[in-house]
Structure 1
Amino acid sequence: MENLSIRSLKEGYEKKLFSPVEVTKMYLDRIHHLQDLNAYITVTENIALQQAEIAVKRYAADEASGILEGIPLSYKDNLNTKGIRTTSGSKIDENFIPIEDAGVVRTLQKEGAINLGKLNMHEFAFGITSNNPFYGPVKNPWNHEYTPGGSSGGSGAAVAASLSAASIGTDTAGSIRIPAASCGVIGLKPTHGLIDASGVKHISWTLDHIGPLTKNMDDLAIIMEAMTGKNFTVNLKEDIRGLRIGVPKNYFNEGIDENTAILYKKALKDLESLGAILIEIDIPYSPEDLALSFAIGLSEAGFVHEETILSALDSLGLDVKASLENSHAIPALDYIKALKRRAQITIQIERLFEKVDIIATPTTPITPQKIGEEMVEINGTQDSVYHTMIRLPAIFNVTGHPALSIPCGLADNGLPVGLQLAAARYNERVLIHAGFAYEQGFLTSFYEKRNKLAELAINK
Structure 2
Amino acid sequence: MLSIKDMLEGFRKKELSPVEVTREYLKRAKQAESLNAFIQLTEETALNQAKLAEIRWSMGQAGKLEGIPLSYKDNIHVKGVPATSGSIIDRDFVPTNNAPIIQTLQKDGAIMIGKTNMHEFAFGITNNNPFYGPARNPWNPGYISGGSSGGSAVSVAANLCAASIGTDTGGSIRIPASCCGLIGLKPTYGLLNNSGITPLSWSLDHNGPIVQNTADLALVMGALTNSNYSYENTSIKGWRMGIPSNFFTDRIEPEVLEVYESTLKRFEELGASLVYVEIPHVEETSSLTFTLAIAEAGYVHKDRIARNLGKYGEDVKQIMESSSSIQAIDYINALRRKEQITEEFDILFKDIDLIVTPTLPALPKAIGEGGVQFNGETESIFNCMIRYTSYFNLTGHPALSIPAGLSEERLPVGVQLVGKKMSEQGLISAAAAFEKHYLGNFYKMRESVCSATAVSYQ
Q: Place the TM-score, normalised by the shorter chain, in its bin.
A: over 0.9
Identity among equivalent positions (%) equals: 50
Contact 2:72 2:114 in 1 (8 A): yes
Tell me the equivalent position of 1:7: 5
Tell me the equivalent position of 1:454: 450
CA displacement at 1:260 relative to structure 2: 0.3
Tell me the equivalent position of 2:370: 374
Does 1:137 find its partner at 2:134?
Answer: yes
Tell me the equivalent position of 1:213: 210
Contact 1:235 1:430 in 2 (8 A): no
**C-alpha distance in 2 between matches for 1:263 and 1:454:** 21
CA displacement at 1:253 relative to structure 2: 1.2
Does 1:34 find its partner at 2:32?
Answer: yes
**C-alpha distance in 2 between matches for 1:348 and 1:367:** 31
Contact 1:236 1:436 in 2 (8 A): yes
TM-score normalised by L of structure 1: 0.98
131, 145, 150: which one pairs with 2:147?
Answer: 150
155, 168, 178: which one pairs with 1:171?
Answer: 168
Opposite residue 67 of structure 1, the aligned amino acid is K
Opposite residue 172 of structure 1, the aligned amino acid is T
Where do 1:5-154 residues align within 5 Å? 5-64=3-62, 66-154=63-151
Opposite residue 122 of structure 2, the aligned amino acid is A
**C-alpha distance in 2 between matches for 1:349 and 1:443:** 30
**C-alpha distance in 2 between matches for 1:179 and 1:335:** 29
Tell me the equivalent position of 1:290: 286
Deviations 1:236-287 (A, max 9, x none): 4331101110001101111110000000000000011000110011111243
**C-alpha distance in 1 between matches for 2:219 and 2:287:** 35
**C-alpha distance in 2 between matches for 1:455 and 1:161:** 5
Contact 1:238 1:440 in 2 (8 A): no
**C-alpha distance in 2 between matches for 1:311 and 1:262:** 49
Contact 1:155 1:168 in 2 (8 A): yes
SS in 1 for 2:276: strand
Tell me the equivalent position of 1:245: 241
TM-score normalised by L of structure 2: 0.98
Contact 2:285 2:390 in 1 (8 A): no
SS in 2 for 1:328: helix
CA displacement at 1:412 relative to structure 2: 1.6
Where do 1:225-264 residues align within 5 Å? 225-232=222-229, 234-264=230-260
Tell me the equivalent position of 1:397: 393
CA displacement at 1:235 relative to structure 2: 4.9
**C-alpha distance in 2 between matches for 1:446 and 1:380:** 32
Contact 2:35 2:454 in 1 (8 A): no
Contact 2:267 2:434 in 1 (8 A): yes
Unaligned stretches of 5+ in structure 1? none
CA displacement at 1:458 relative to structure 2: 4.9
Contact 2:135 2:144 in 1 (8 A): yes
Deviations 1:21-71 (A, max 9, x none): 01000000000001010000010000000000011111122222x100000
Deviations 1:89-139 (A, max 9, x none): 000111111101111111111000000010000000010000000111110
Opposite residue 84 of structure 1, the aligned amino acid is V
Does 1:388 find its partner at 2:377?
Answer: no
Tell me the equivalent position of 2:402: 406
Opposite residue 375 of structure 2, the aligned amino acid is N
Contact 2:147 2:176 in 1 (8 A): yes
Does 1:320 find its partner at 2:344?
Answer: no
SS in 2 for 1:83: coil
Unaligned stretches of 5+ in structure 2? none
CA displacement at 1:231 relative to structure 2: 1.3
**C-alpha distance in 2 between matches for 1:352 and 1:172:** 23
CA displacement at 1:438 relative to structure 2: 0.5
Opposite residue 81 of structure 1, the aligned amino acid is V
Contact 2:189 2:397 in 1 (8 A): yes
Opposite residue 386 of structure 2, the aligned amino acid is I
**C-alpha distance in 1 between matches for 2:105 and 2:193:** 11
Contact 1:146 1:371 in 2 (8 A): yes
Contact 1:236 1:432 in 2 (8 A): no
**C-alpha distance in 2 between matches for 1:402 and 1:459:** 35
**C-alpha distance in 2 between matches for 1:228 and 1:399:** 21
